[in-house]
A and B are shown apart, each in its own frame.
Chain A
Amino acid sequence: SQKIEQNSEALNIQEGKTATLTCNYTNYSPAYLQWYRQDPGRGPVFLLLIRENEKEKRKERLKVTFDTTLKQSLFHITASQPADSATYLCAVSRGGYNKLIFGAGTRLAVHP
């Protein structure tokens, strides 16, 4: 079965630097890969979606890459700010009526 692996250790970076978070999947190549942000006690907020035939997607300071050979997606936040501190979740789906499967998330802390 498909498993999503995200670094369980928090990522601490300095304000202004680029944060890079990793999402690895173990089984089939997903049709869709999504990234969400979750703040404590709140529901996840959708950020970006990338399809299996896309290598890279950008939105403002966010960039997602998708490498089906490595079975990995990287999520970058450039010029990071303390307000970017949150837990970031990766999710994948085969499409159709298959489940959207989530990773446990990586906590990002951006320090002034």
Chain B
Amino acid sequence: ETGVTQTPRHLVMGMTNKKSLKCEQHLGHNAMYWYKQSAKKPLELMFVYNFKEQTENNSVPSRFSPECPNSSHLFLHLHTLQPEDSALYLCASSQDTESGREGYTFGSGTRLTVV
């Protein structure tokens, strides 16, 4: 257990479904991130939240909608996804809000399959 908990671990959803991914950290970190990892590809940054405020939206389609109700919780709401959205979705956090100045703590990810 890294201190960053993601649920569910696995999710299969149809293209017309709506689902949410949840991320929780009790490390007292100030920044939280959503990354997408597709097979054989680098991690792609999706969203960044610093002190609960969104500071980065990396041109992510609107079918992905993040929510950060407090500094410990981060959600990714999913609707009308496409099969190419199937991937491992990783949540991470860091104490420092300056990018890269300290290592990120990642959760174990949600393996999403869109059918």
Contacts and interface: CB of A to CB of B under 8 A. Distances in A.
Given A4-B42, A43-B2, A99-B58, A49 B104 contact: no
A79 to B, nearest CB: 23
Interface size class of A (residues with CB under 8 A): 20 to 34
A12 B81 CA distance: 38
Interface of B: 2, 4, 6, 40-43, 45, 48, 50, 55-56, 58, 88, 90, 92, 97-109, 111
B21 to A, nearest CB: 13
Q: Closest 3 interchain pairs by CB?
A: A93-B100, A46-B103, A43-B106
Nearest to B111: A41
Interface of B is mostly: loop
B109 to A, nearest CB: 5
14 contacts: A8-B40, A34-B100, A41-B111, A44-B43, A44-B104, A44-B106, A45-B2, A49-B102, A89-B43, A97-B50, A99-B99, A100-B45, A100-B99, A104-B42
Nearest to B6: A43
Nearest to B90: A43
Contacts of A41: 88, 108-109, 111
B55 A46 contact: no
Contacts of A43: 2, 4, 6, 90, 92, 106-109
A88 interface: no
B99 A46 contact: no
Given A43-B92, A46-B104, A89-B43, A96 B99 contact: yes
Interface string A13-57: 000000000000000001110101000011111110100000000
Residue from B4, B48, B55, B99 having most chain A Cβ neighbours under 10 A: B99
